[in-house]
């Protein structure tokens, strides 16, 4: 990476910390909102306190379970529906308008229904999570199917591949990349979906914990939870991006310096689904 | 030499709902001898691609018969290997794995198929690029990978659908030389579909000129230029004569095609 870019990034971080501390200090003198912006060392200490509390791990476990179950259920269904839609123009024509409509609706409006159907425990969070995961995965899978280079299919036929060989040697490898893109986006959106549900109505989970601290006006632990969630989500995204780059390492043309271009810079979370 | 391919009275009509039915091929008869290099040339809309698909067994609802070594063609088959006009290498496979693909499908074990694949990679002049992926190769190299992949299938007839059509003229000439080398080395029967007159004359024993709709064989020209041949042959007066002769035959067909196309655009 360019050295001056690195310097600017570092300066930005320092600038933010500095500004934060100024506001925090003003707060202690009662000039600005008192305690809304706690000193960074207070937040750091709160993070430490969270990390040595059993309750934190219980909540982390709950959120993790809700996320994983929701993500897996939602994305597995989405992959099957996506493949189905991709292979059959009829099914695609029938389902796509509805999926597009729901996909671009904030899924948060379905929360009350999910609470009524599944209760306020972990089941409703899993349902919300799978709903969040479903849309990005179904869209990318369908698109991946539809956009398979037709000449590759013809190559398969010309070499007399049977149906299973067509699937395993051509469709599946061609689908890996779009599906992983969908899974990466789905994973990130599932975190949001689960946390939103937990914030609203729950008896456990990191979102619930965050809500409790907020209601009790315990601001430093609240920031601690926010930062921990942020760190976990960022790490998960980096992990998925690495995985995607690994899968794609051959497909990426090398740039002029001989470096492979990577998928790291792909944004577009908002395009695929809103929560 | 025995005829390896016999095309007997092949016709194919496309029925579209709105327009009049399009007669893509009408009573096409053609025999190709083993080891022969034959080009089929014609304007867009002369049914070249349809004929290609019929021989490759990719279209089977046609009239007439296609026989390879006396056996009728029914579906895609081992006797015909196809190289497509579009880039058709698998982007997720290295050159070696791309070329070994048909062997993998046949269930040949890894060591043996890689050894065979290396042989064909060398033949198309891509040795040293075995571990490269298509994204790292030029257009010409990708097409050569596709050629090697089809050669590895060891078809009785190799069917090439303008494989170098998307490449620049100079690369195309050089790859033509490469094809002649391969053709001579393997005694491979080759059938090239093209709209490039120079390419057809440079490579072929015979050039089949097709007419614009309905697609019929207008004339077959024997190219009596010395073998072994290379792209340098284009500087000879004989070469120019053949090119001129072909253009005379094609000019009328191409103009008819152009008039039709323009009328169709005007109608929309």
Q: How far apart are CA B47 and CA B45, in angstroms?
A: 5
* Beta carbons of B86 and A161 less than 8 Å apart: no
Domain covering B3-79+159-267 assigned CATH 3.40.50.300 in the classification? yes
Is some CB atom of chain A closer than 8 A to the CB atom of B163? no
* Beta carbons of A169 and B94 less than 8 Å apart: no
Residue A259 in domain: no
**Res B245: pLDDT:** 92
SS (H, E, C) B28-88: EEEEEECCCEEEEECCCCCCHHHHHHHHCCCCCCCEEEEEECCEECCCCCCCEEEECCCCC
Taking only the tens place, the pLDDT of each residue in A238-263 is 888 888 888 777 665 544 444 444 44
CA distance B14 to chain A (A): 20
Residue A49 in domain: yes
Task: Tokens 């009275």: give the residue.
Answer: B9
Looking at the 3D structure of chain A, how many domains does it have? 1
Taking only the tens place, the pLDDT of each residue in A142-196 is 998 888 889 999 899 888 898 889 989 999 889 888 898 899 999 989 999 999 9
* Beta carbons of B92 and A253 less than 8 Å apart: no
Find the closest chain B residue to A258 by CA distance. Answer: B136
**Res B169: pLDDT:** 86
In percent, the amount of chain B with pLDDT more than 70 equals 98
Q: Which residues pair with B39 in a beta bridge?
A: B192, B207
Q: Which of B46, B38, B86, B36 is nearest to B199 (CA)?
A: B38
In percent, the amount of chain A with pLDDT more than 90 equals 49
Residue A216 in domain: yes
For residue A254, the chain B residues in CB contact (below 8 A) are 135-136
Q: CB of B141 within 8 A of CB of B129?
A: yes
**Res B39: pLDDT:** 94
Tell me the pLDDT band of B114, cut-offs 50, 70 and 90.
very high
Taking only the tens place, the pLDDT of each residue in B60-109 is 788 888 889 888 887 777 888 999 988 999 999 999 999 999 999 999 99
- Among A151, A160, A254, select the one facing B84 at the smallest CB separation: A151
Taking only the tens place, the pLDDT of each residue in B182-239 is 898 888 999 999 888 999 999 999 999 998 888 888 899 999 888 888 888 888 999 9
Is some CB atom of chain A closer than 8 A to the CB atom of B136? yes
* Beta carbons of B153 and A169 less than 8 Å apart: no
* Beta carbons of B77 and A251 less than 8 Å apart: no
* Beta carbons of A158 and B105 less than 8 Å apart: no
**Selected residue with higher pLDDT from A29 and B8:** B8
Domain boundaries, chain B: 3-79+159-267, 85-154
Is some CB atom of chain A closer than 8 A to the CB atom of B228? no
CA distance B255 to chain A (A): 30
Q: How far apart are CA B209 and CA B211, in angstroms?
A: 7
Going B133 to B136 to B139 to B145, the CA torsion angle's sign is negative
* Beta carbons of A251 and B102 less than 8 Å apart: no
**Res A113: pLDDT:** 92
Q: How far apart are CA A81 and CA A99, in angstroms?
A: 11
Residue A7 in domain: no
Sequence-separated (6 or more) residues with CB below 8 Å from residue A83: A141, A145, A175
Residue A152 in domain: yes
Taking only the tens place, the pLDDT of each residue in A57-88 is 999 999 999 999 999 999 999 999 998 898 88
**Res A273: pLDDT:** 43
Q: How far apart are CA B259 and CA B199, in angstroms?
A: 25
Residue A89 in domain: yes
Q: What three-state secondary structure class fits A199?
A: helix
Residue A78 domain boundaries: 43-249
Interface test with A, best of B74, B90, B130 (most A CBs within 10 A): B90
Residue A269 in domain: no
Helices (H), A88-121: 89-103, 111-118
The CATH number for A146's domain is 1.10.3720.10
């Amino acid at each position: 990476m360019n050295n001056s870019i690195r310097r600017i990034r570092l300066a930005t971080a320092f600038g933010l910390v500095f500004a934060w501390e100024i506001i925090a200090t003003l707060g202690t003198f009662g000039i600005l909102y008192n305690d809304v912006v706690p000193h960074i060392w207070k937040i750091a200490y709160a993070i430490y306190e969270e990390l040595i509390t059993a309750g934190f791990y219980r909540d982390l476990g709950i959120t993790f379970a809700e996320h994983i179950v929701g993500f897996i259920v939602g994305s597995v269904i989405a992959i099957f529906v996506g493949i189905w839609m991709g292979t059959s123009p009829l099914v695609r024509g029938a389902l796509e308008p509805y999926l597009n409509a729901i996909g671009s609706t904030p899924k948060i409006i379905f929360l009350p229904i999910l609470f009524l159907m599944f209760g306020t425990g972990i089941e409703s969070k899993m349902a919300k999570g799978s709903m969040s995961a479903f849309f990005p995965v179904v869209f990318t899978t369908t698109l991946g199917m539809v956009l398979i280079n037709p000449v590759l299919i013809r190559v398969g036929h010309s070499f007399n591949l049977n149906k299973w060989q067509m699937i395993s040697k051509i469709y599946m490898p061609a689908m890996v990349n779009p599906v992983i893109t969908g899974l990466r986006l789905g994973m990130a959106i599932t975190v949001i979906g689960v946390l939103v549900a937990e914030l609203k109505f729950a008896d456990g989970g990191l979102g619930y914990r965050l809500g409790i601290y907020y209601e009790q006006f315990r601001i430093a632990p609240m920031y601690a939870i926010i930062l921990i969630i942020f760190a976990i989500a960022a790490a998960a995204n980096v992990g998925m991006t690495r995985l995607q780059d690994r899968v794609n390492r051959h497909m990426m043309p090398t740039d002029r310096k001989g470096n492979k271009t990577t998928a790291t810079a792909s944004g577009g979370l908002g395009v695929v689904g809103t929560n | 030499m025995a005829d390896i391919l016999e095309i007997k009275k092949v016709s194919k009509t496309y029925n579209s709902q709105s327009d009049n039915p399009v007669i893509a091929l009408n009573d096409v008869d053609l025999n190709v001898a083993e080891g022969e290099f034959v080009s089929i040339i014609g304007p867009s809309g002369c049914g070249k691609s349809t004929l290609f698909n019929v021989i490759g067994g990719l279209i089977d609802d046609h009239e007439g018969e296609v026989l390879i070594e006396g056996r009728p063609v029914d579906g895609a088959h081992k006797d015909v290997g196809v190289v497509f006009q579009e880039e058709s290498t698998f982007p997720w496979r290295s050159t070696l794995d791309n070329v070994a693909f048909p062997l993998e499908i046949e269930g040949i074990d890894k060591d043996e198929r890689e050894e065979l694949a290396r042989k064909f990679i060398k033949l198309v002049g891509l040795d040293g690029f075995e571990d490269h992926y298509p994204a790292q190769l030029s257009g010409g190299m990708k097409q050569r990978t596709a050629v090697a992949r089809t050669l590895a299938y060891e078809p009785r007839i190799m069917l090439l659908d303008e494989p170098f059509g998307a490449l620049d003229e100079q690369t195309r000439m050089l790859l033509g030389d490469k094809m002649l080398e391969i053709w001579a080395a393997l005694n491979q029967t080759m059938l090239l579909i093209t709209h490039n007159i120079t390419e057809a004359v440079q490579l072929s024993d015979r050039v089949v000129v097709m007419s614009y709709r309905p697609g019929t064989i207008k004339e077959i020209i024997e190219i009596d230029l010395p073998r072994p041949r290379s792209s340098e042959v284009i500087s000879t007066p004989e070469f120019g004569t053949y090119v001129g002769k072909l253009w005379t035959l094609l000019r009328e067909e191409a103009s008819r095609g152009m008039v039709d196309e323009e009328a169709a655009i005007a109608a929309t």
